[in-house]
Amino acid sequence: MAAKVLTVTSGKGGVGKTTTTANIAVALAALSYKVVCIDADIGLRNLDVVLGLENRIVYDVVDVVEGRCRLRQAMIRDKRLPELYLIPAAQTRDKNAISPSDMVRLCDELRNEVDWILIDSPAGIERGFRNALAPADMVLVVTNPEVSAVRDADRIIGLIEAEEKGPARLILNRVNMNLVKRGDMLNAEDVLELLAVELIGIVPEDEAVVVSTNRGQPVALDGKSKAGLAFQNIARRLNGEQVPFLSLDEKDGFFARLSRMFRSGGA
């Protein structure tokens, strides 16, 4: 086994990095891969609550780096799936508690044990981001279809390329199709044209995400919701499968637009 290290980042906070990391991890584990996710947001940990594993933390990533426990002891197993593990962040330390080379060493130790290592990056472009980026084989940039998130995504994509970790792949999260149809939200084509980057997922805005996060059960655990399905599709694309993009497909040949026009006109 030689794991692939996947870093999930965004620049801007609050666009859904942690939710994305949790759900892709769950979706990959459901495809029978052995997955470890690492919360690199030291001081502001959240991947544990989004995964619903907050009550089982004994050791964290800083304990591993500082030698207070073995790597195995800090890996919390998610019992809902065959092989999903979380290495939580420390909550009472800061980003300087670990270094980029610590992260590289940690991932190298895991590489022969698992199939996928997912790293949830903190927001920002400072030390925490550098820690998360250092061991990455592939970087996923999460953004929302709005000006500030797209601008910050562009900045972070530039930094990823400068570190020779590119090409970054884009996840467009929280797309509201009603707003897009009305012309009041950037669509995937707009964002791709602006950022000139490869797309790997479009995740619709979905109340199921709020509900599932409340319960600590990621939406991708069951693929009934639209967002859950979108995350499962991302996991399949990561494994090289060709899966069509939902909202790109329904958009927007002349005839599709015409027929929608008549439908909305008639209604």
Among 38, 186, 188, 234, interactor with other proteins by CB under 8 A: 186
Smaller CB distance to other proteins: residue 113 or 154?
A: 154
Q: Any idea what DSSP says for residue 164?
A: T
Stretch that binds other proteins, among 20-28, 94-102, 134-142, 185-193 (CB under 8 A): 185-193
Smaller CB distance to other proteins: residue 242 or 264?
A: 264
Helix locations, 95-143, DSSP H:
100-111, 127-133
Residue 136 is encoded by which pair of tokens? 């990455």
* String marking each residue 233-252 x if it binds other proteins according to CB under 8 A: --------------------
Stretch that binds other proteins, among 52-60, 71-79, 228-236, 256-264 (CB under 8 A): 256-264
Q: Is 164 in the site for other proteins (CB under 8 A)?
A: no
Nearest to 203 by CA among 236, 245, 174: 174
Among 185, 234, 238, 246, interactor with other proteins by CB under 8 A: 185
By CB under 8 A, what part of segment 194-223 binds other proteins?
194-197
Q: Is 15 in the site for other proteins (CB under 8 A)?
A: no
How many chain residues touch other proteins (CB under 8 A)?
27
- Residue 18 is labelled as binding a ligand: yes
Count of C-beta atoms within a 10 Å radius of residue 258: 10
Evaluate whether 116 touches 86 at the Cβ level (below 8 Å): no
Residue 172 is encoded by which pair of tokens? 């467009």
- Residue 188 CB, shortest distance to other proteins, in Å, is 12
Burial of 78 (0-12, 13-18, 19+ CB in 10 A): buried
74: left (phi over 0), alpha (psi -120 to 50) or beta: alpha
For the stretch 205-208, contacts whose Cβ atoms lie closer than 8 Å and that sit 24 or more positions apart, written own/partner, are 205/174, 205/175, 205/176
Bind-site residues for ATP: 12-19
Show binding-site residues: 12-19
Binding site for other proteins (CB under 8 A): 146-147, 150-151, 154-155, 157-158, 161, 179-180, 182-187, 190, 193-197, 257, 261, 264-265
